[in-house]
């Protein structure tokens, strides 16, 4: 089974520009999550989709971040406009169900805002 894939693996943009990160979850996984690790900090939860619906977006830092999951398959996370403090690694994860089901993480997108 293919794992969670994220694209791009790296992105370098200038402050004020827009970047869109993509995540393809494991096929059949209804639950999709975004996490991020900003420089020097711990990995933190951003939001959770169940199919195409946002279940919990309590971790989204501000309205410059927009996540979508049209059709309940892949998801995108757009940062517009990007700020320096948005630099970090953005992880996507998926799981077949909630509860005690473990999360399967992708390898992340390393975002650098200059």
Pick from 21, 93, 111, 113: which binds another protein (CB under 8 A)? 93
Residue 7 sits in the site that holds another protein (CB under 8 A): no
Residue 95 sits in the site that holds another protein (CB under 8 A): yes
Q: Which residues on neighbouring strands pair with residue 35, listed in sequence order? A: 45, 91
User: Whole-angstrom Cα distance, residue 65 to residue 79?
Assistant: 5
Q: Of 70, 91, 97, whose CA–CA distance to 5 is shortest?
A: 91
Residues 8-47, one symbol each (x = binds another protein by CB under 8 A, - = not), give -----------------------x-x-x------xxxx--
Cα dihedral angle (86, 91, 95, 101), rounded to 10 degrees?
A: -90
Residues binding another protein: number (CB under 8 A): 25
Nearer to another protein, 61 or 81 (CB): 61
């Amino acid at each position: 089974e293919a794992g969670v894939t994220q694209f791009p693996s790296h992105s370098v943009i200038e402050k004020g520009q827009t970047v869109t990160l993509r995540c393809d979850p494991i096929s059949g996984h209804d639950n999709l999550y975004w996490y991020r690790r900003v420089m020097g900090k711990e990995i933190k939860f951003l939001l959770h989709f169940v199919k195409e619906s946002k279940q919990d977006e309590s971790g989204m830092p501000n309205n410059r971040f927009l996540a979508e999951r049209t059709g309940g398959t892949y998801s995108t996370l757009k940062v517009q406009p990007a700020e320096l403090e948005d630099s970090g690694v953005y992880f996507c994860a998926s799981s077949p169900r909630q509860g005690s089901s473990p999360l399967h993480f992708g390898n992340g997108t390393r975002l650098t805002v200059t």
